[in-house]
Amino acid sequence: MKKITLTIMVLIAAGAAWAQDFDKNLASARSTYSAGDLQDARFAMEQMLRDLDIAIGKEILKLLPTKIGSLAVNEKEDNLSGTGAYAGLYVNRHYGADPKRASIEIINNSPLINSLNAILNMPVIGGMMQDENQKTVKIQGYKSILNKQVIAETGKTNYELQIPMNNTLVTLRIDDTTEGEITAAANTIPLAKIVQMAQ
């Protein structure tokens, strides 16, 4: 029931232009389905799902922090898309500028989810696949994988934190940072709200 209420609220907040496209695709799906044109009905439904993913993505962008550590958001670089039933929602936000940057990426129905869950939930598989540059951590109660990459030329260390939550993957990347900084930054992301909206 909460999911339906949240979806309805997102639809209302998305705006009149989006609603017109949604209504147009809904009418097209109904008429083509009634006419027996199942292929075009499917296409119209996929367009509706894509539009819904984009509306949800816009709401998720509003939830993301305006800063990661000292790095300010670059809203001009925001990227979001909806692919309908196949892969789902994609949200990407960038922070900072070269040489120190950060990003948050949210993917619904990510193909990596099953692999990451296998590493996190099966100790034998996880132990075989992890090395000294990878470890399991908990962020806001979610088991996550922290990857460390040392750049030989500069001696700087970049981190990537992958947080699988049901069928949604949140990835945080920060250049030239420490484990403490990336985990602190991850704790500023409202993960529970994001996973509730993205599902």
Tokens of 23: 């209504």
Is the pTM value of this prediction over 0.75? yes
Domain 68-198 CATH class label: alpha beta
Tens of pLDDT, residues 38-49: 888 888 888 888
Residue ranges, comma separated, of all CATH 3.40.1000 domains in the chain are 68-198
Task: Report the pLDDT value the prediction gives residue 14, as an integer from 0 to 100.
Answer: 43
Provide the pLDDT confidence category of residue 123 given band limits of 50, 70 and 90.
low
Tokens of 183: 């985990």
Residues 194 and 199: their CA atoms lie apart, in Å, by: 9
Q: Residue 73 carries which DSSP code?
A: B
Produce one character per residue of 61-77: b if its CB has 16 or more CB atoms within 10 Å, e if not. Answer: beebeeebbebebeeee
Tens of pLDDT, residues 70-113: 999 999 999 988 665 456 789 999 999 988 999 999 998 877 77
Residues 90 and 61: their CA atoms lie apart, in Å, by: 11
